Amino acid sequence: MTKVFYDKDINKEALQGKKIAIVGYGSQGHAHAQNLRDSGYEVVVGLRPGKSHDKAKEDGFEVKAVADAVAEADVTMVLLPDENQPKVYEESIKDNMKPNSALAFAHGFNIHFNQVVPREDVDVFLVAPKGPGHLVRRTYEEEAGVPALYGIFQDVSGKATDVAMAYAAGIGAARAGVLETSFQEETETDLFGEQAVLCGGLTSLVKAGFETLTEAGYQPEVAYFECLHEMKLIVDLMYEGGMENMRYSISDTAQWGDFVSGPRVVNDETKARMKDVLTEIQNGKFAKGWILENQAGRPQFNAINNNEYNHPITKVGQDLRDLMPFVKQPVNDKKKEGKV
């Protein structure tokens, strides 16, 4: 079995006394900055003027222009949106990093697809949390953590692995498990997971179920509870104890339905499409399309985002969640942040 590292296995000394520049203060940025600070490390946040800048200041961080934060850092963690990283790297990071310092990422996309070609005199590593940034922070505060992968692209100092592992521990990941990967494996599996299963697969499954029920004349509220709200309750059981735990908890009728109907919905045809998705990730077709879409100002992204937002499941969900104050509303939080 692959070696999984925990706090007791990791040499925290490797990061001690090093100044860490967190570039970006969004989903991952705020979590890395706050967790590392709480783990006892010195953090400076690199940003342009704007919302995140004000937020990081409010949260008590020293905030500087990206170039200035990078210039004084021993580790620069790039937590900008992937599509903005190449430009900011060229303009503000590349010429300001100290020789023998480390350049780090939370996702391998730009290095793997050659959108950022790093300087040769710095370490380059990856610490990729396998979870959304807000949970990286929330679980840390709960004395838990989100697992993470680390990988090394360039090891000039000879210490890149130790620094990467200590960084992963600093954000709380070694409470949950830290595994070695490569930039290639992290990039390809991350893109595949979010496209085929976690985000794309899940939203398409939920919408298709919701539409099937409402088109058959059932109440949208019932369809929402059945196909979306209850998803979390079921997934929590899988998260805690695997599919066997979920199946233990549901009724035998539900379990029989799982066995006979699940494979009719997600079948060999679906798996063949998953293989197509994986092939286009591996051969760079997906990356090229996304890079071009950004260069064109995101016409398709914005149109689809708008259509999706106007799906009937959005409104019924907002109304129902307003009546369940115990349910957090991340989409509405994002709306406040101007992201939707």
List residues with catalytic annotation: 107
Q: What's the CA gap between 73 and 76, in Å, rounded? A: 6
Least CB distance from residue 138 to Mg ion, whole Å? Answer: 17
On the 0-12 / 13-18 / 19+ scale of CB atoms within 10 A, 152 is middle
- Residues 193-222, mask of contacts with Mg ion (x by CB under 5 A): -x----------------------------
190 binds Mg ion (CB under 5 A): yes
Q: Is 74 in the site for Mg ion (CB under 5 A)?
A: no
Instruction: Report the nearest approach of ligand NDP to the CB of residue 260 (Å).
Output: 36
Q: Are the CB atoms for 23 and 29 separated by under 8 Å?
A: yes
Using alpha carbons, list the distances in angstroms from residue 268 to 133, 203, 261, 271, 275.
Answer: 34, 20, 13, 5, 10
**Binding region for ligand NDP (CB under 6 A) out of 74-82, 94-102, 253-261, 296-304:** 74-82
* In contact, 156 and 188? CB cutoff 8 Å: no
Cα separation, 271 vs 265, whole angstroms: 11
Per CB under 6 A, the list member of 51, 328, 335, 336 interacting with ligand NDP is 51
If one asks whether residue 186 binds Mg ion (CB under 5 A), the answer comes out as no
CB of 149 to Mg ion, least distance (A): 10
Distance CA 48, CA 110 (A): 21
Nearest distance from residue 179's CB to Mg ion, in Å?
14
Please tell me the distance from the alpha carbon of residue 178 to that of residue 3, in angstroms, as a whole number.
9
Mask of contacts with Mg ion, 139-178, x by CB under 5 A?
----------------------------------------
- Looking at beta carbons only, is 308 or 322 nearer to ligand NDP? 308
The reply to whether 175 sits in an annotated binding site is: no
- CA atoms of 65 and 198, how far apart (whole Å): 35
Q: Which of 86, 118, 129, 145 binds ligand NDP (CB under 6 A)?
A: 129
Q: Whole-angstrom Cα distance, residue 178 to residue 164?
A: 10
Q: Is 335 in the site for ligand NDP (CB under 6 A)?
A: no
Q: How many residues bind Mg ion (CB under 5 A)?
A: 2
Integer Cα distance of 90 and 253 in angstroms: 58
Binding-site residue numbers for NADP(+) are: 25-28, 48, 52, 133
Interface residues toward ligand NDP, by CB under 6 A: 24-29, 47-48, 50-52, 66, 79-82, 84, 88, 106-107, 128-129, 132-133
